[in-house]
Chain A
Amino acid sequence: MNGKWTALSGAVFAAVLAAAPIAAHAEDWKPQRPIEIIAPAGPGGGWDLLSRTMQKALTEEKLVDRPIIVTNKPGGGGATGWNYLKGKEGQGEFLAATSPLLVQNNVLGKSDLTYKDFTPLAALMAEWEVVAVRADAPWKDGKAFFEALKKDPSSMHIGVGPALGNDDHIQFLTLAKAYGADPKSVKFVVYPATAAEQIPALLGGHIQAITISLGETLEQVKAGKLRLLGISSPERTAELPNVPTWKEQGVDFIFPHWRGVIAAPGLTPAQRKFWDDTIAKMVKSPTWKKALDNLGWESFYQNADEHTAFLAKQQVEMATTLKEVGLVK
């Protein structure tokens, strides 16, 4: 028994020695400890669902051989969770969910964090933005609606949530401007509980329209309670082929509300490559595709290089847009 153990541990020792030089080689980094995916918000929201979907796909497709945990760190419009990630410099086992808020909060001056404080890994999915009115409302398309808004802004109240300055808000301001209405004259009603308050408020006739992502309205549209005036996708969606894009309606506006994943700052090229390859495999896996289908999300994959360039572009564009619509002075 004893001899066997010695022999075994000797063999393990030799294997470790042999493996050591390879492990140091750039190609071969692998997570050494349990992986932590940070959802910088409470359970139930978009970041939380994305983190848990990643956890599920990576585990079930056996793409990583360490356990994955998802931790919720809500606060500061994502800042609490992201700051925690920022403190894990060089540790490849820490990831976090992101969205355009990472860029917007910085441009709006709410946060010092930018994408440069992290290692961007990928954009994963997008939801398209829509403007919804009640099914019995008089406006049939974007033009009719924004004409009415232009004529009498005080009769049109637009629901937005959870706070001003997000993608939903920016979509509406951009559209108002494109249709020739004064973005500053729009009366926004802010609902901190988002769709949970916005949809009853719209159905109850307290407000005239909401600006929101497609998924939140899908079931209400199918049930014939809401009408969508337009969608920010490049082409009509398969699920709702009757809803015209903004582009068809003459407004050059394609606007994905994307979500993605970032890693801790200061990752080595090997660590970054590991995740770049792993995520590329993940987005092609059946588990991932089925999960996106179930959640009604569109795939919006960018690899690490593409996504980093995309973030740099967004940072510039967002500053311009927010200035044009008067949110940034």
Chain B
Amino acid sequence: MESILHNLGLGFEVALQPINIMWIVIGGLLGTIIGMLPGLGPATGVAVLIPLTYGMNPATALITMAAVYYGAMFGGSRASIMINTPGDASAIVSCFDGYPMAKSGRAGSALATSAIASFIGGIVGMAFLVFFTAPVADLALKFGPAEKFSLMLFALTATITLSEGSVLKGFIAMAFGFMLATIGIDGQSGAIRFTMGIESLQDGIDFLVIMIGFYAIAEVFKNLSSLDVRYDVDSKSIGRVWMSGEDFKRSLMPMLRGGPLGFFVGVLPGAGGTIATFLSYAIEKSVSKRPKEFGKGAIEGLAGPESANNACSCGALVPLLTLGIPGSGTSAVMLGALMMLGVRPGPVLFEMHPEIAWGVIASMLAGNIILLFINLPLAVPLVQLLKTPQRIMLPLIVGMAYMGTYFLNYSSFDFVLVSISALAGYMLSKLEIPIPPLVLALILGGMTEQSFRNALTIANGSPAIFVTQPISLGFLVLAAISLVYALKRHRKLMQMI
């Protein structure tokens, strides 16, 4: 304990050098801007800025990259809230309630909530990173394929319970998602599945393309009917970027719950921000006294996942710092850049280069505070966007959505996919089929399938492994509970009609 505080002190000595503070500010600002553009997520942001780090000493380089990473996380949710266009998968959930809040004139409050929740999530994640890195890293090693499969199954069933109205429609959406996820070359057998001879489909469908279609462009279609309506909002009230006391009271518990949840999910290799944010949303909805408000601008539905998302990025650093293994795409990029500078992250990083390992941890704490101050004033010009007439705003959104799509894979075939998914998204919303289970099944489908097969390979074909492993069994029980809960709630709804 004392040695941890001593090390943290050493870290702050490094992080608070003026040059490093300067890079936190620059990196955070650049990251925020990159994160706001659809299709440009944290991994791309860090990759683009790697040349900046060439002349730096390793500690400054890693601090800068971590700042870009954080900035992009903060920025990603701006676009979700303002134009319903998530910058990456972990910002999807911020659309659910953030965008309705903006539409109903509470954009300032939504932006402030997201910045403050991100900040609190970051602080909670940091605290866990400082004090629980070693035990959590050990726990994460216990997660084999069976445990991962059951965790993902739980995340998926929990999302079904979120669906408005019919549980059956939730399942239909999930089935669609799984079907889309099977398209492409199967890594295990090498078989090419459901590509209909189209070579561009061999790698599978990039869920970000589908997401941009479903959320951003489909939303434009929905707004076409109200082309001349200006949002009837008082510019004074949207301009006020702060949370009211009532807002804060409602958000506090979701933020504090989202933090630890995000951290633990972030530690598991490959699971990441998507599962963390969806699970946090599911939890908030099921414990809320006002579940009906979710999806229509419930502040809890924004605060919890935003907090979980940032805590998750702290969790993703645990495997990087303890095992030298990247826990997410972004930390893979950071690892590559560090190696080019001659530092090999690994189990001995903390002993060999404490100034780097602890410097980064301390800089993240400083970075969270600095980003909060960057993001709150930045929200003021952003909310003015809402005053833009729809006739100008909607074409702009479509343009940005297509641009972002192209940046993802530099593939013109993705234009076809994004157009089809925009139409499909519009149809699904007319049919009242919920989109979240579809998107989550598409993102997790490949991983779920591979974990299932790996678990069976390890158990030499016996499915008993899913119930004999205690952690796996625990998640299966949770999945069953959430399913029963959904069915019960559904029956109640039917009786009311």
Physical interaction between A and B:
yes
The CA-CA distance from A193 to B269 in the complex, in Å, is: 8
Q: Is A163's CB under 8 angstroms from B188's CB?
A: yes
Q: Known: A75-B411, A201-B144. Is A294-B187 also a contact (CB below 8 A)?
A: no
Q: Is A44's CB under 8 angstroms from B335's CB?
A: yes
Q: Interface stretch among A220-228, A248-256, A313-321? A: A220-228
Q: Is B409's CB under 8 angstroms from A75's CB?
A: yes
Option from A44, A49, A80, A296 in Cβ contact (under 8 Å) with B411: A80
Q: Known: A197-B269, A219-B324, A220-B323. Is A204-B141 also a contact (CB below 8 A)?
A: yes
Option from A44, A110, A191 in Cβ contact (under 8 Å) with B329: A44
Q: Is B457's CB under 8 angstroms from A76's CB?
A: no
A135 to chain B, nearest CB (A): 11
Q: Counting CB contacts under 8 A, is B367 at the interface? A: no
Option from A43, A200, A205, A206 in Cβ contact (under 8 Å) with B336: A43
The CA-CA distance from A108 to B189 in the complex, in Å, is: 12
Q: Is B339's CB under 8 angstroms from A294's CB?
A: yes
Q: Is B460's CB under 8 angstroms from A187's CB?
A: yes
Q: Counting CB contacts under 8 A, is A272 at the interface? A: no
Residues in B with CB closer than 8 Å to A164 are 187-190
Q: Known: A49-B340, A56-B54. Is A192-B203 also a contact (CB below 8 A)?
A: no
CB within 8 Å: A-B pair count: 149
Option from A42, A196, A206 in Cβ contact (under 8 Å) with B270: A196
Option from B187, B340, B344 in Cβ contact (under 8 Å) with A218: B344
Option from B323, B341, B344 in Cβ contact (under 8 Å) with A200: B323
Q: Interface stretch among A1-9, A10-18, A66-74? A: A66-74
The CA-CA distance from A5 to B441 in the complex, in Å, is: 67
The CA-CA distance from A138 to B336 in the complex, in Å, is: 33
The CA-CA distance from A291 to B337 in the complex, in Å, is: 11
Q: Is B145's CB under 8 angstroms from A190's CB?
A: no
Residues in A with CB closer than 8 Å to B347 are 219-220, 223, 225
Residues in B with CB closer than 8 Å to A162 are 187
Q: Counting CB contacts under 8 A, is B39 at the interface? A: no
B322 to chain A, nearest CB (A): 10
Q: Is A154's CB under 8 angstroms from B460's CB?
A: yes
The CA-CA distance from A201 to B147 in the complex, in Å, is: 12
The CA-CA distance from A219 to B346 in the complex, in Å, is: 5
Q: Which of A73, A195, A219 counts the most B-chain CB atoms under 10 A from its CB?
A: A219
Q: Is A44's CB under 8 angstroms from B346's CB?
A: no
Q: Is B202's CB under 8 angstroms from A79's CB?
A: yes
Q: Is A163's CB under 8 angstroms from B202's CB?
A: no
The CA-CA distance from A192 to B451 in the complex, in Å, is: 10
The CA-CA distance from A189 to B269 in the complex, in Å, is: 16
Q: Is A72's CB under 8 angstroms from B323's CB?
A: no
Residues in B with CB closer than 8 Å to A188 are 457
Q: Is A163's CB under 8 angstroms from B187's CB?
A: yes
Q: Counting CB contacts under 8 A, is B199 at the interface? A: yes
Per-residue interface assignment for chain B, residues 332 to 355, with 1 indicating a CB less than 8 Å from any chain A CB and 0 otherwise: 110110011110111110000000
The CA-CA distance from A192 to B454 in the complex, in Å, is: 11
Q: Which of A176-218 contact B (CB under 8 A)?
A: 187-193, 195-197, 199-201, 203-207, 218
Q: Counting CB contacts under 8 A, is B134 at the interface? A: no
The CA-CA distance from A73 to B336 in the complex, in Å, is: 17
Q: Counting CB contacts under 8 A, is A285 at the interface? A: no
Q: Which of A45, A52, A154, A293 counts the most B-chain CB atoms under 10 A from its CB?
A: A52
Per-residue interface assignment for chain B, residues 88 to 112, with 1 indicating a CB less than 8 Å from any chain A CB and 0 otherwise: 0000000000000000000000000
Q: Counting CB contacts under 8 A, is A48 at the interface? A: yes
Q: Is B144's CB under 8 angstroms from A204's CB?
A: yes
Chain B minimum-CB-distance residue to A201: B144
Q: Counting CB contacts under 8 A, is A157 at the interface? A: yes
Residues in B with CB closer than 8 Å to A199 are 323, 325
Q: Counting CB contacts under 8 A, is A295 at the interface? A: yes
The CA-CA distance from A77 to B323 in the complex, in Å, is: 27
Residues in A with CB closer than 8 Å to B270 are 193, 196-197
Q: Is A192's CB under 8 angstroms from B187's CB?
A: yes
Q: Counting CB contacts under 8 A, is A260 at the interface? A: no
Q: Counting CB contacts under 8 A, is B47 at the interface? A: yes
The CA-CA distance from A110 to B203 in the complex, in Å, is: 12
Q: Is B348's CB under 8 angstroms from A222's CB?
A: yes
Residues in B with CB closer than 8 Å to A49 are 336, 339-340
Q: Is B457's CB under 8 angstroms from A196's CB?
A: no
Q: Counting CB contacts under 8 A, is A53 at the interface? A: yes
The CA-CA distance from A71 to B44 in the complex, in Å, is: 11
Q: Known: A110-B185, A189-B145. Is A72-B47 also a contact (CB below 8 A)?
A: yes
Q: Is A223's CB under 8 angstroms from B54's CB?
A: no
The CA-CA distance from A220 to B348 in the complex, in Å, is: 9
Q: Is A189's CB under 8 angstroms from B187's CB?
A: no
Chain A minimum-CB-distance residue to B336: A44
Q: Is A294's CB under 8 angstroms from B323's CB?
A: no
Per-residue interface assignment for chain A, residues 30 to 69, with 1 indicating a CB less than 8 Å from any chain B CB and 0 otherwise: 0000000000001111001100110010000000000000
15 residue pairs A–B, Cβ–Cβ below 8 Å: A43-B43, A44-B329, A45-B336, A56-B340, A72-B47, A79-B199, A164-B188, A189-B457, A191-B454, A193-B269, A196-B326, A199-B323, A199-B325, A204-B144, A223-B348
> Would you list the 4 A-B pairs with minimal beta carbon distance, nearest first?
A219-B346, A204-B141, A43-B47, A206-B144
Q: Which residues of B contact A (CB under 8 A)?
A: 43-44, 46-47, 50, 54, 140-145, 185, 187-190, 192, 199, 202-203, 269-270, 319, 323-327, 329, 332-333, 335-336, 339-342, 344-348, 409-411, 446-447, 450, 453-454, 457-458, 460
